[in-house]
Amino acid sequence: MLWTITIVCLLLAGLVFRQVFRREEEQEMAGEDAGLAILEFGRAFPDEAIREVITTADGRTVFLRLHDGKAGCMHAHGHHYSCHRIEPGTVRVESAGPKRLTVKFANAAFEGGVFEFRDEREAAEVSLWLLGSFMPAVAGLGPEAAGRPV
């Protein structure tokens, strides 16, 4: 009887250790995926300079703020990313909760959806990037300067 209890306790300890190790590994992979996303976006759009990166809470989608007022979005599909450069005015953003955004793209080439972030600040920051409201120099100019047809 004592051997049975000992074996069961060792099995339970092994399962707990495995779960803790797996959780730590997933957190490390999320950080590496952001770095990989930057490299992949640079390969897809070599002329775009990245200013800031925010990943979603699950780490599967990465939003990038680019140097010229545009934004980028990358969604993980297994070990590959689909890269998308977002022009101002081609996206619709709605709040879906304090840390969630519903994003719909005007061109159906990229999948939108509901994205959850780690906190409200990151969700608000990404919504500003996507809506292009961080472009004060372009806001005072005509629609031709903002890249929109007249």
Can you list the domains of the chain with their CATH numbers?
48-140 (2.30.29)
Contact call for residues 146 and 137 (beta carbons, < 8 A): no
pLDDT (average), residues 95-103:
88
Q: What mean pLDDT value characterizes the chain?
A: 78
Structure tokens at 58: 């699950």
pLDDT (average), residues 105-119:
80
pLDDT (average), residues 105-116:
77
Query: Which of 78 and 94 is assigned the larger pLDDT?
Result: 94
CA separation for the pair 8, 142 (Å, rounded): 73
What residues contact 56, with CB distance under 8 A and at least 6 apart?
62, 63, 115, 116, 117
Does 150 score more than 50 pLDDT? no
pTM above 0.75, yes or no: no
Q: What pLDDT, on a 0 to 100 scale, did the predictor assign at position 146?
A: 46
